[in-house]
Amino acid sequence: MKKKIVSMLLIVVMAVNTFAGCGKPSSSGAGAASASAEEGKVINIYSWNDEFRERVEAVYPEVKETSSDGTVTTLNDGTEIHWIINPNQDGVYQQKLDEALLKQADAAADEKVDIFLSETDYVNKYTDAEANAAMPLSDLGIDPDKDLGDQYSFTKVTTSDTNGVQRGSTWQCCPGLLVYRRDIAKDVFGTDDPEEVAKKVKDWKTMKATAKELKEKGYFTFSSYADTFRLYGNSIEQSWVSPGETVIKVDQKIMDWVNDSKEWLDAGYLDKNVKGQWNDDWNKAMGSASKVFAFLFPAWGIDFTLKPNWDGGDGVWAVTNPPQEYNWGGSYIHACTGTDNPEHVKDIILSMTANKDNLLKISKEYSDFTNTQSGMQEAAADDKGYASDFLGGQNAFKYFAPVAEKIKIAPLSAYDQGCVELLQNCFSDYFQGKIDFDKAKSNFETAIIERYPDITEIQWPE
């Protein structure tokens, strides 16, 4: 059975490849081939999982084959892509990448990093103008305004340095929705219609009244206080650390999250036993035995997190508009400064992030919400083509698309990852009543200075 599936998959992939090869005029292929004369023979790509490789294999027309262990992909012109995969856990990926980047200038041509990926939480560390690890796209010959015109503008802001120079591009964008249990909605509100539920969760004030309703029937609104963090954290007015400064300014929105979370937890709207995300308790909260009404997830969250943890049948979950537009996650492709394969890199970036047909194919095959405004509008209108079995035939793109258009990304800094992580950890003790508010603040100050020794001061909002 398994063999059958694998062989079917292979046939599909092969068919898709030939198809893609035929459908596309050979201009870009020929361009890459002729340029390869003076280009290096090896393209090194740093990433933390197979996500990007799978997508390249699926849609990049130049791919010939990938070795069975998945470490080398050969292109039609003989150039090899070497995949250097290090897990994200405990910052291993960034550690390895940082080591490689420090050696980049002295490395042999075939050892140089050509492409690396980053996530929203730390993209700014690499797009920083002074660090100059990621090349400006314009240096590759990509005109962001023209070539990437169909992308969502917030993804361009995210990958730009403080001078507004875009230094990366992405195929996916991660607008988030509210994913809720239909059976609980029916039990409490008498209806599971997404439009009706949307009215119940349209803003935080209404949401609170709804939470009370859910509580009376014995349900939790969300599982953990960390679930709502992105909604607040995405709407901060100023970045955690302003460019050129060494002062962390904690935004009022973050303190709102702290206060609201405490209030919600004490009121019993959140599950006390779930402490943060990505742990066993959190995963269990997505099971059928759980009393949690909703989660806040982007497209990947529904597919990679919720679906594997759900033990019931299809069609129990549904999506609707969240109380506030937000973005969670995103993988960015960067051309590494010093690459010896600029033409290939340019071709890969354009093919993966600016080609609408390729992006729609990724959306269809991997349920990613891809970075093409016109394409996503088409998907939103095409209920048949993009219906999700897991969501009971609902077309999630219909809900994602308007959220994506309204997202205003919060200003980023290179310190975001540590700030977000440590703040959640330190205030976790406060939420559980182990320590008081001021102690949590001082614990955060201690922890953040350990992580970032160059921080000199932490300013809290009044």
Residues that bind another protein (CB under 8 A): 90-91, 98, 101-102, 125-126, 128, 130-131, 133, 273, 275, 279-281, 284, 414, 425, 428-429, 432, 434-435, 439, 443, 446-447, 450-454
Q: Which is nearer to another protein, 7 or 446 (CB)?
A: 446
Q: Shortest distance, CB of residue 455 to another protein, whole angstroms?
A: 9
Could you write out the DSSP letters of every residue in 300-314? HIIIIIIHHH--S-T
Q: Which is nearer to another protein, 35 or 131 (CB)?
A: 131
292 forms beta bridges with 220
Q: Shortest distance, CB of residue 269 to another protein, whole angstroms?
A: 18
Tracing tokens 């402490």 back to the chain, one arrives at: 275
Amino acid at the residue 179: V
Q: Which is nearer to another protein, 102 or 247 (CB)?
A: 102
**CB-CB contact of 194 with 162 (8 Å):** no
Angle at 435 between CA 433 and CA 437, to 5 degrees: 95
SS (H, E, C) 106-137: HCCHHHCEEEEEEECCCHHHHHCCCCCCECCH
Q: Shortest distance, CB of residue 453 to another protein, whole angstroms?
A: 5
Q: Which is nearer to another protein, 383 or 450 (CB)?
A: 450
Structure tokens at 45: 């790509």
- d(CA 166, CA 147) in angstroms, rounded, equals 12
Q: Which is nearer to another protein, 171 or 282 (CB)?
A: 282
Q: Shortest distance, CB of residue 246 to another protein, whole angstroms?
A: 9
Q: Which is nearer to another protein, 124 or 210 (CB)?
A: 124
- d(CA 63, CA 331) in angstroms, rounded, equals 21
- d(CA 377, CA 382) in angstroms, rounded, equals 9
3-state helix, strand, coil in the chain (%, to 5): 50, 15, 35
Q: Which is nearer to another protein, 315 or 338 (CB)?
A: 338
Q: Shortest distance, CB of residue 452 to another protein, whole angstroms?
A: 6
- d(CA 125, CA 419) in angstroms, rounded, equals 13
Q: Shortest distance, CB of residue 412 to another protein, whole angstroms?
A: 12
Q: Shortest distance, CB of residue 281 to another protein, whole angstroms?
A: 5
Q: Shortest distance, CB of residue 410 to another protein, whole angstroms?
A: 18
Based on its alpha-carbon atoms, the radius of gyration of the chain, rounded to whole angstroms, reads 23
Amino acid at the residue 172: Q
- d(CA 256, CA 232) in angstroms, rounded, equals 8
Q: Which is nearer to another protein, 111 or 193 (CB)?
A: 111
Strand ranges across the sheet with 331-335: 63-66, 72-75, 80-85, 42-47, 113-119, 331-335
Q: Shortest distance, CB of residue 210 to another protein, whole angstroms?
A: 26
**CB-CB contact of 455 with 415 (8 Å):** yes
Beta-carbon contacts of residue 16 (< 8 Å; ≥ 6 apart): 58, 59, 361
Q: Shortest distance, CB of residue 117 to another protein, whole angstroms?
A: 15
On the CB side of 359, CA atoms within 13 Å amount to 28
Q: Which is nearer to another protein, 41 or 434 (CB)?
A: 434
Q: How far is CA 219 from CA 166, 226, 424, in A?
A: 45, 18, 24
Q: Which is nearer to another protein, 12 or 92 (CB)?
A: 92
